[in-house]
Amino acid sequence: MNSNEAYDYIERISNLLRNTLRRFGASHGLQPTHLEALAYLKACNRYSDTPKGLTDYLGLTKGTVSQTLKVLESKDLIKKNIDAKDKRKIHLAISPKGKAVIKDLLPPFLFRDACAHLTSVAQLQLTRYLKQLLREMQESNTLKSFGVCRSCRFNQQKSPENYFCKLTGETLSKQETLAICREHEYQKS
């Protein structure tokens, strides 16, 4: 495989998606960073729905994330909730209005339309290869992987509907195991 050629395609696709998000986000008074924050909050679990989790995931400064959260909160797209156990900790939740914005804009129509032109087999193959590429990149990255909880080495399935996190010592719902987590670590091969 020519990694330069693959990179060029991925970079071009990323640029097209960013431009589409920029254009359609502007209709809601939002920048791509605001949409990226909303998308993250939609996908993350209760261990990751904090300003620190968002900062780590987006790779931005605390100040930039703070300003992003102010914009989202002022537009009633997110809510801040104080942690029940640790009053110093803030959890971020998407409001119904925020969920509606995400539903309208993500994934961008450009991507949905392009995927619709692929056969179902091609869509499955593309997803499988992109997932594999992402995992390889996450494993070689020295930063947090933000992988899906269910693929984490700390996740234990007790029964079809009962999961447990060995890291936190807490029970997880089936739905939580489908979310991304900042504490994620892949199984050692």
- Give per-residue pLDDT as tens, 102-140: 988 888 888 889 999 999 999 999 999 998 998 888 778
The mean pLDDT of 77-93, rounded to a whole number, is 92
The neighbour count for residue 103, using CB atoms within 10 Å, is: 9
Q: How far is CA 152 from the centre of its chain?
A: 16
CATH class entry, domain 1-105: mainly alpha
Which residues touch 174 (CB under 8 Å, ≥6 apart)? Answer: 160, 161, 163
Q: What is the mean pLDDT of the chain?
A: 90
Query: Coil, strand or helix: which one is 78?
Result: strand
Q: What's the predicted TM-score (pTM) here?
A: 0.83
Q: Which pLDDT band, with edges at 50, 70 and 90, does 154 fall under?
A: very high
Query: What is the three-class DSSP state of 132?
Result: helix
- Where exactly are the structural domains of the chain? 1-105
Using an 8 Å Cβ cutoff, are 153 and 186 in contact?
yes
